[in-house]
Structure 1
């Protein structure tokens, strides 16, 4: 049944003045959905919906201002009353984001702003001071209509607010005072007054800069906690994701890497998989934090998962701290491989042929470029040795990998669609490239995706059953003048408090890892209306069939544990390396050159690149 919307007016005593059902004039087969409401003395109530924007006056009734069935088709708009009485229209059209004022006479969107990023999601609210206000997942801004400028008024982290998303309920008392529903670390909301503090009243603390092309939720929350608890230091973000554009989603990564290469570095750098951390280590850009591990009394006695810690060491030095991680591997039905835990390229080919399916379908819906990237990423140090400035892309193994990838699609066609939840059960697809981000993530793989026992078998051409996918990589600049303060922040990620709080990644602290393992085998309970403790069941739909997902067994947990403890190499991805391989591989995939010729060219180009960037 479609939702019904009603416009209701009450007087100041709470008495209903009128009640009008909305959407009654919608064409047959269509529906009505309300998006926003605003009020203007001149125009009455302004409503935005999936049908467009309309006004309602008690004497005149409804008047359509913008009809989305004839103008801005397919768009969705919300309306917000600004400080000076302007009604702002915000939303998306075929041309991207739109923020503008509603022109009632022209029945169109009038002044359209040029300053709002298409890449960012904003929530708008009104109040006094600026023409209109908005929030994103990092800050609150004021917008000046005349100058078309967006001014940052409040940074969540700088203001010690544990907010990692848009504030949806706020109003401006003035341009220096806001009232909002603000969450704490446990998502309990409090009606809070936010007041700008004069600069001369702010306590002077040492600023520790933390930069990243993407700064994840855990790091942001830890920074807020650190800033609240610390009287000597304050974390300040340099967020390079603000450089991303609709035309270049990697602009932030590129700018971040360029600044690092030119020596413009923060005290702490947070990296993801796409950053060339090994190259930076070779250049001596990071501080060795191994001495802190042995001398800091807060963590000196803690035990960590040895093979994971060792994987991120450079010799006996520790230039990066990785507090949580995933394990990347390829899974298949155990019945396919009869006990093997690492398939050769020939094994893969034989199984695909025996099953009588197309190679292009064997890994589900996976494009050729992605498969090639996985092939390099899963190879660990086999293709690139950054420390010795060597590479091995003209090897027989890489030539064979290139030839294996030829049958995978360059792009999807309409008839390529596969139902992810059923294709592995039905053997329409065989091999699932996956990441385990905790013991519970194995549930869906085992009991939903495959529906039977699974084996982990490594990627085609790889010598390793699995590789380590770092959650966050935190490095301290060798140039930092606040190294001790930076360490005080980073060591929190190794604490029992933080490690025990992890739900979506494996913790690196051994005791926290063991707790996660034990919890994975415990049923969850809820309290019914009579106060009785009832076991909570978990279900998932596979096609039209409801499947119960049981609590993990000891055997399930042992299988995941063995995978974690036998992972020794870090997943390796470098955007520039990937681009060079893709550029040259196209000549083979189009039939212009042999795989060997292409691999020789790749070897030559990457040898130069690695020497110049190590």
Structure 2
């Protein structure tokens, strides 16, 4: 299956995993059973508070820290960052303590004890109220470690080390689980328990050590058959979890009694994920696409704390949540671009946030959009945008969120700003005057000139000559072939394609390389749906012979392809003449270079999908922004939407082609320069893609000119519709399985799609 097809199949195949497993690895003991269930309590307006940002400071030189290497205690945050030596492969660690009240930090270097031919890793840390730090470290033989995958832990030594707040070692003791599973740590694995000691949690034993000298206080046998997770709640209480069928059972583990106490049942359909956290107020934080919740085990309640836009952070960047007291909330963020740590402190404010709220709704909203909302909210003193991500409705059925979003739009509760997709019938909503036309906004915006943008892209997404959506970024889907094979081609159709292939000894089954029947049909619909379906006119045409020809070709393809078959063919079949065409999904000029220099190893042509209108390629819009015709703050909505069309965004597009001409042509110019030249380096690096090795060779001026001209000539965009695709694939499979002839299948598809369009558009 090719990469392009994988992207398409993701839209159809039900991949959604309900109920993210709450905890990380494993947990504990005997059980006194009394089960309760979670009740859902949301914060209401009468609670009368919100969280206001009071401080924001960066982590200095601290780069990425695994959440297991973070500990919070007594108003301080402790991080442990690995440092590699330039001279040898030894490791050291920078341990930093951040005071969350004023942002002051103290850092010291920890050099683990190293034996000959061994290397030592810090795998867990925690701290106590005095600022002492406890480390769980693993010492192993370098050679055995690198060559003994899957072997027992006999070559590994685990130590627990206590450091003073100045970094001096106070004691060290070897950890050795009697159960023989030293490396199977549960949850964070290492916990400081106030007035009790330091607790190590493995799959078969919990061992409590003295904080004074590291001696063993108590060793608890753990029944791993009834527990599979552990975490520390408020007041240093230890909880274990058991995943049972469609439920997760949470239980308190009493360190004095060595017994499991009351249970809390969390149904599977509650799709929250445990967040690495520590709180003096609640036992744990849960996060979903709406916001942050707290769970209190004693009251068995889930309470809504805030949304991500309330605290103006991107949920994808959150790595740790810390609540030092009832009035403060600390969020640790990792910048995904440079992997620097950022720490934000929020203070509970009584009253109401005075900013007026606009809503932006969409399905599975990505980080770039969320970051844009964060920037807007931070810079606007009067308004803020609240994100509604409808993917939260995908609890029992993938795609339920899309249905819920469409219901809201039809019922008149459409968000002020709609982040649309090909699965939302925008044309239908335009005809019902639910979507606001944007032509006047474009015309009156002093920072935007229509002539500054690629006209074919702008025009392609118009409806009846009007602009109802903004498409700031685009990609293209097409088909490529060796120029030498297709340059003399007169009329690129399925029939012509098969003729050229036969003349070169290529069988029908191999023309597109490794591709299945179903994947080919999806590809055809993605690239040529407008040939068969007109959403504007609510009509379709699967019976004029073109779709029949396509099905007859697809009948030669395999129903399935193993991973081994795919890998053995994918990277060599095009360059060695065993395949004619490849489907491409281009979001940058490098994607073209990979095809030309890698897959085909000679000049290629964007020939497009055979037998389609235009040049056979389509525009794909990863971002489609629309405005509600009923919004009370249209000018504010436009301020946000238009920011995607302006230089700051356009000049920094990472995934996709910017629609602004000068930004697009700047990328085209960069494509003619090597990476070494762009970086000002003399070193040319090799790019590895699967089995392919690409030298740092830029595209030629002619190649870039051809790509640019082709992109500028694309006048169709993908009209992919999940329901229509399901109908087509379902009926096509009957032909492939010889249950119906091709004419019957085309007639049935025509009837079913016609009915769907009449009922839904």
> Could you tell me the TM-score, scaled by structure 2's length?
0.70
User: Contact 2:508 / 2:556 at 8 angstroms: preserved in 1?
Assistant: yes
Partner of 2:293: 141
Partner of 1:370: 519
1:194 aligns to what SS in structure 2?
Answer: strand
User: Contact 1:114 / 1:148 at 8 angstroms: preserved in 2?
Assistant: no
By how many angstroms is 1:42 displaced? Answer: 8.1
Q: Is 2:381 the counterpart of 1:244?
A: no
Partner of 2:349: 197
CA RMSD of aligned residues (A): 3.6
Name which of structure 1's ranges 440-449 and 177-186 shifts more when overlaid on structure 2: 177-186
Name which of structure 1's ranges 51-60 and 452-461 shifts more when overlaid on structure 2: 51-60
User: Contact 2:501 / 2:511 at 8 angstroms: preserved in 1?
Assistant: yes
1:168-317 superposed matches below 5 A: 168-182=319-333, 188-200=340-352, 202-205=353-356, 207-245=357-395, 247-300=396-449, 303-317=452-466
By how many angstroms is 1:333 displaced? Answer: 3.2
Gaps of 5+ in 2: 1-141, 147-155, 210-214
Distance in 2, Cα, partners of 1:48 & 1:165: 29
Equivalent residue for 1:39, pick from 184, 189, 192: 192
Distance in 1, Cα, partners of 2:711 & 2:467: 21
Equivalent residue for 2:169, pick from 16, 19, 26: 16
Counterparts in 2 of 1:590 and 1:135: CA distance versus 1, 3 Å: same
User: Contact 2:205 / 2:219 at 8 angstroms: preserved in 1?
Assistant: no
Question: 1:32-72 deviations in whole A, cap 9, x for unaligned?
Answer: 688623233587544466x66643533268655355xx778
Distance in 2, Cα, partners of 1:491 & 1:124: 37
Q: Is 2:732 the counterpart of 1:581?
A: no
By how many angstroms is 1:484 displaced? Answer: 1.7
> Could you tell me the TM-score, scaled by structure 1's length?
0.86
Equivalent residue for 2:599, pick from 446, 449, 471: 449
Q: Is 2:238 the counterpart of 1:87?
A: yes
Distance in 2, Cα, partners of 1:599 & 1:9: 74
Gaps of 5+ in 1: none
Partner of 2:307: 155
Counterparts in 2 of 1:424 and 1:289: CA distance versus 1, 3 Å: same
Q: Is 2:709 the counterpart of 1:552?
A: no
Distance in 2, Cα, partners of 1:16 & 1:526: 49
By how many angstroms is 1:491 displaced? Answer: 0.8
Question: 1:390-418 deviations in whole A, cap 9, x for unaligned?
Answer: 11011200111122222334444566442
Distance in 2, Cα, partners of 1:533 & 1:389: 55
Larger radius of gyration: 2
Q: How many residues align?
A: 597
By how many angstroms is 1:109 displaced? Answer: 11
Counterparts in 2 of 1:48 and 1:367: CA distance versus 1, 3 Å: farther
Question: 1:360-409 deviations in whole A, cap 9, x for unaligned?
Answer: 55434544333212212211422112222211011200111122222334
1:407-422 superposed matches below 5 A: 407-413=556-562, 416-419=565-568, 420-422=570-572
1:611 aligns to what SS in structure 2?
Answer: helix
Q: Is 2:276 the counterpart of 1:124?
A: yes
Distance in 2, Cα, partners of 1:53 & 1:495: 59
Distance in 1, Cα, partners of 2:296 & 2:173: 36
User: Contact 2:272 / 2:286 at 8 angstroms: preserved in 1?
Assistant: no
User: Contact 2:187 / 2:231 at 8 angstroms: preserved in 1?
Assistant: no
Distance in 2, Cα, partners of 1:341 & 1:563: 18
Name which of structure 1's ranges 516-525 and 56-65 shifts more when overlaid on structure 2: 56-65
User: Contact 1:121 / 1:136 at 8 angstroms: preserved in 2?
Assistant: yes
Partner of 2:207: 55
Counterparts in 2 of 1:64 and 1:209: CA distance versus 1, 3 Å: same
Distance in 2, Cα, partners of 1:588 & 1:416: 25
Partner of 1:7: 160
Counterparts in 2 of 1:501 and 1:15: CA distance versus 1, 3 Å: same
Partner of 1:486: 637
Distance in 1, Cα, partners of 2:533 & 2:280: 58
Counterparts in 2 of 1:589 and 1:283: CA distance versus 1, 3 Å: farther
Question: 1:533-568 deviations in whole A, cap 9, x for unaligned?
Answer: 524534233566744232333233223212211111
Partner of 1:611: 758
Name which of structure 1's ranges 427-436 and 221-230 shifts more when overlaid on structure 2: 427-436
User: Contact 1:526 / 1:536 at 8 angstroms: preserved in 2?
Assistant: no
By how many angstroms is 1:254 displaced? Answer: 1.8
User: Contact 1:332 / 1:455 at 8 angstroms: preserved in 2?
Assistant: yes
Q: Is 2:472 the counterpart of 1:323?
A: yes
User: Contact 1:6 / 1:21 at 8 angstroms: preserved in 2?
Assistant: yes
Name which of structure 1's ranges 535-544 and 588-597 shifts more when overlaid on structure 2: 535-544
